[in-house]
């Protein structure tokens, strides 16, 4: 959590990349789903995001709209927090200003992320990856992550807050609960390892090293 927050703080200078990170970290969007997100999929007043599409880029053919990676299992309508709503609202207002400057209206099917002035075309998912990687390269002092890593982060945070496996599977939209369970096992093993380290530190801080010749449990 500290790592994600540290990067988001710096990424305030790059609001589009910050938004991609927030979407991936908060509702576990895949890279191609972030690229395929349209404004018509978002209800800012209700704080809802519908996940129905992804963007696939085939060399020599270009980008195409596809279903999510896990098909109908990948569809979902998820609630988002107030700060993420505010980030999305600011992004849409910037798009409206650009459209007004061009003497045009925002297309009804406009994408959230795009290299097109009016967001009529989806961004290449690789562009999202490159932008985040460039950011990470500029800040080697903070542990790095990828957009894919953030899905595991979402699962870990859900597990840490007590969400059951069924809830996590619905959020991450895995076709199989086994995939979600792998994230949960990893999160629990991290907790186990942390617990034993913490125990060792507590023992070290509360006892003095035994003097030579002493036997544990007997007076020295």
- Residues 15-73 have pLDDT tens digits of 999 999 999 988 888 899 999 999 999 999 999 999 888 888 888 777 777 766 554 55
Counting beta carbons within 10 angstroms of the beta carbon of residue 43, is it exposed (0 to 12), middle (13 to 18) or buried (19 or more)?
middle
| pLDDT at position 51 | 87
Residue showing tokens 């297309």: 107
pLDDT of residue 102: 95
Nearest CA among 106, 103, 85 for reference residue 94: 106
The structure's pTM equals: 0.74
Q: Where are the domains of the chain?
A: 2-147
Pinpoint the alpha helices (H) of 62-146: 82-101, 125-138
Q: How far is CA 9 from CA 6, 13, 136, 152, in A?
A: 5, 9, 13, 21
Spell out the long-range contacts of 134-140 with Cβ–Cβ below 8 A and sequence spacing 24 or more.
135/7, 135/10, 135/11, 135/14, 135/17, 136/7, 139/7, 139/10
Cα 203 from Cα 161, distance rounded (Å): 28
126 three-state secondary structure: helix
Q: Are strands 62-66 and 42-43 parallel, antiparallel or unpaired?
A: unpaired
Q: Tokens at residue 129, please?
A: 């990856």
pLDDT digits (tens, 9 = 90+) for 156-180: 777 767 766 666 666 666 556 666 6
Q: Is the pLDDT of residue 74 over 80?
A: no
In angstroms, the first-to-last Cα distance of the chain is 46
**How far, in Å, CA of 7 to CA of 113, rounded?**
20
State the architecture of 2-147 in CATH terms.
Orthogonal Bundle (1.10)
Strands (E), the chain: 42-43, 48-51, 54-58, 62-66, 76-79
């Amino acid at each position: 959590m500290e790592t994600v927050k540290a990067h988001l703080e710096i990424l305030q200078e790059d609001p589009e990349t910050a938004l991609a990170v927030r979407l991936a970290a908060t509702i576990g969007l895949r890279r191609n789903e972030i690229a395929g997100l349209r404004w018509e999929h978002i209800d800012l007043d209700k704080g809802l995001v519908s996940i129905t599409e992804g963007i696939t880029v085939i060399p020599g053919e270009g980008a195409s709209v596809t279903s999510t990676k896990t098909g109908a299992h990948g569809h979902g309508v998820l609630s988002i927090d107030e700060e993420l709503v505010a980030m999305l609202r600011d992004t849409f207002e910037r798009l409206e200003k650009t459209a007004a400057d061009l003497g045009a209206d925002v297309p009804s099917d406009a994408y959230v992320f795009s290299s097109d002035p009016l967001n009529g075309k989806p961004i290449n998912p690789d562009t999202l990856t490159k932008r985040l990687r460039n950011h990470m390269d500029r800040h080697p002092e903070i542990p790095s992550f990828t957009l894919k890593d953030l899905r595991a982060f979402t699962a870990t945070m859900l597990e840490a807050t007590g969400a059951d496996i069924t809830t996590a599977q619905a959020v991450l939209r895995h076709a199989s609960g086994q995939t979600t369970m792998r994230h949960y096992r990893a999160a629990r093993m991290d907790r186990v390892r942390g617990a034993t380290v913490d125990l060792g530190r507590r023992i070290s801080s509360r006892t003095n090293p035994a003097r030579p010749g002493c036997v544990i449990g007997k007076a020295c």
